[in-house]
Structure 1
Amino acid sequence: MSISSLKGGVGKTSVTLGLASAALAAGIPTLVVDLDPHADASTGLGVEPNGENDIGHLLKNARRADIAAAAVPSPWAGRSGAAADGQTPVLDVAVGGAFSGIYDRPDLKLRNLRRLHTVLSRQNRYELVLIDCPPSLNGLTRMAWTASHRVLLVAEPSLFSVAGTERTLRALELFRKEFVQGLQTAGVVANRFRESSAEQRFRLEEMRTMFGDALLSPVLPDQANWQQIQGAAYAVHQWPGDAARQSAARFDELLHGLADPASAGVR
C-alpha cells in the first residue's frame, strides 16, 4: 500500500509511521519502503542510510535485488518484546536515501516504473508493505503506485490540501486506466485535525461531502507531542502518556479498517 499526498507538510510520513506502529503491535510482519529521498520515514523508524543497500540502489539492480536481505530491522521491533509464539515481531525498513532521486522525474517509462514491483514481487517475508511516497507525482510516486495494490491518501482539513487531494484522486484514476487497472484507492485520511479551529471543522465537513465513503475513520487529530515521539525514533504504541495511547488506538482502528474495508466508515 502506497501512502501518498501531492502536497507536502500534511503528515504523510507520520501516518506511515503510525500504521507501522499499529502493525508491529498487531504482530503483522511489515516492511516500510522509504521511497522519499529525504528518508524521513527511515529516520523516524530509527534506521540510518546504509550506502549501497538503500532503496535507490535496490531499484537500480531490480532484477537481482533481494529486498528482504537488504532491509534493516527497526529498533522498534526490539523494544516490542516477544510475540505469543516467542518470536520478535518483524518490522523492517527498505532504507531511503538521495540516490533514489535519480528516478524522481516526470518522464519515467513503463520499464522503469515497474522496478519496485520487480523488487517486491520476489519477497514472501512480509504480510504488509507500506510505501512512503514523495509529495509529488513524479517517477517515484508512480513507481510506488505501479507496485501497490492500494493507495492511501493523506490530507489536512485545509483549503489547499483538500483541493490537492481531489486532484490526486483524478490523477490516480487516470494512472489506473493507463498503467495498473487493478489499483484500488484505499481512501482518504484526514490528518492533523484541530477541533478548536472553525476553519478546520468547515474543511472536514467539506471533505465528507467531497469524498463520501472514501473518507476513512477515524479522523487523526493534531497531536502536540508527535514531534517529540518521532524525534526520539519511537513507535507511538511504545510512548508513555494518555495522548500517545489515544493516538495508538486511532492507528489501530485505521489499520483494522484498511485490512477490512467493510468495517471502515466515515466519522
Structure 2
Amino acid sequence: MQVVSISSLKGGVGKTSVTLGLASAALAAGIPTLVVDLDPHADATTGLGVRPSRQTDIGRLLKNARKADLAANVAPSGWVATAAANGQHSVGRRILDVAVGSAFTGIYDRPDLGRRDLRRLSTVLSRVEGYSLVLIDCPPSLNGLTRMAWTASNRVLLVAEPSLFSVAGTERTMRAIELFRDEYAPNLTTAGVVANRVRSGSNEHTFRLAEMKSMFGELLLAPTIAEQANWQQIQGAAHAIHHWPGESARQAAGLFDELLKNLTDSGRMRNRVLRRTPS
C-alpha cells in the first residue's frame, strides 16, 4: 500500500484539486483508493461527494488512535455511484473511500506535537486493509497535521503554481522534508513536484516553469496541469473530472491519468492482490 501526502506550505495553489484529480484517475483506473481528508476545511470530503452519515471523522479517530476502527468509518465517495449510474464501470467493483474530514482535526494543527502524537495517523492506518493507494490531503502548513501525515507516508507529492512565491515555498518545503526525514521518518521520500494551474500563454509561467526545472530537475513531474476554466463548477457539483462532459474535462482527465501513472507505477499496483476488510 502506497501512502502519499499531497502537500504545499503555501495556500491557494490547488493542492486539494490535485488530490481530487488523482483520486478521479485512480477510480477510473480501478485502483482501490482511500482519501484521508486531513485539512480542517474538509474540502476534499465535500468535493468527493460524501453524504453526511454516522461515520466518525478522521479527527476523532486520531484522538483515540489506538482503538480507532478506520475501516468501519470510511465513507464511499459519491463518485462511485455516479460512475455506476452512467455505465462507466464496465468490470468489477470500484473502490474510492474517504476518511471524512472535519474542523476537529484542528486540535492537532499546532507546532509542538511530540513523537507519540505524530504517530497517531500511522496507528490508525496500520489496521486498514484493501487499498493499493492512500492519498492524504494535508493542510497548507508545516504544523502538526502535515507532520503527522508525513510520518504515516511513504512519499510526499508537492504542489506548486509557476509563480515566485509558490516556487520559493516549494523549495522551503523540500528542505523541511529533508530535516523531518532525518529526525522522524528515515524512509520518507519526495515523490516530486507537480506544477498546477499552468497557463500556456503566460510569459511569467513559462519563465517560472523553466526555473522550476532548473531547481528541481527530475523531481518536476510530467505532465504539468493546465488551468481548468470550469474546475470550480466541477468541484461545486461534487463530480470527478473523469465524469464531467466536454473536451476540456477530457483533456484534464488525461493529464491526471498520466500523472498518476508516473507517481505510483499504477500498472504494477493494479495487479497486486490485497485483502479487504468486508464492509
Shorter-normalised TM range:
over 0.9
Pairwise CA distance, 1:50: 5.0
> 2:90 matched to 1:115?
no
Pairwise CA distance, 1:86: 3.6
Query: Which secondary structure state, in structure 1, belongs to the residue aligned with residue 72 of structure 2?
Result: helix
TM-score in terms of structure 1 length: 0.95
**CA distance in structure 2 between the aligned counterparts of 1:50 and 1:219, rounded to whole angstroms:** 36
> 2:74 matched to 1:71?
yes
Moved more, 133-142 or 197-206: 197-206
> 2:239 matched to 1:231?
no
**CA distance in structure 2 between the aligned counterparts of 1:127 and 1:149, rounded to whole angstroms:** 13
CA root-mean-square deviation: 1.3
Give the equivalent residue in structure 2 for 1:222: 227
Pairwise CA distance, 1:196: 1.4
CA contact (8 A) 2:27 2:95 kept: yes
For residues 81-109 of structure 1, give each alpha carbon's deviation from its aligned partner in whole angstroms, at most 9, with x where no partner exists: 2745542x011110110101000000000
Query: Which secondary structure state, in structure 2, belongs to the residue aligned with residue 67 of structure 1?
Result: coil
Give the number of aligned pairs.
260
Q: 1:50 to 1:84 in 2, by over 3 A?
A: closer
Query: Which secondary structure state, in structure 1, belongs to the residue aligned with residue 31 of structure 2?
Result: coil
Q: Which amino acid aligns with 1:75?
A: G
TM-score in terms of structure 2 length: 0.91
> 2:46 matched to 1:43?
yes
For residues 127-182 of structure 1, give each alpha carbon's deviation from its aligned partner in whole angstroms, at most 9, with x where no partner exists: 11000000000000000000000000000000000000000000000000000000
1:177 to 178, 182, 187: 182
Long gaps (5+) in structure 1: 262-267
> 2:215 matched to 1:210?
yes
Flag as ranges the 4+ runs of structure 1 deviating above 4 A.
Answer: 48-52, 82-85
Q: Which amino acid aligns with 1:128?
A: L
Q: Which amino acid aligns with 1:253?
A: E
CA contact (8 A) 1:45 1:76 kept: yes
CA contact (8 A) 1:50 1:95 kept: no
**CA distance in structure 1 between the aligned counterparts of 2:129 and 2:66, rounded to whole angstroms:** 16
Long gaps (5+) in structure 2: 267-279
For residues 199-238 of structure 1, give each alpha carbon's deviation from its aligned partner in whole angstroms, at most 9, with x where no partner exists: 1110011000000000000010111000100000000000
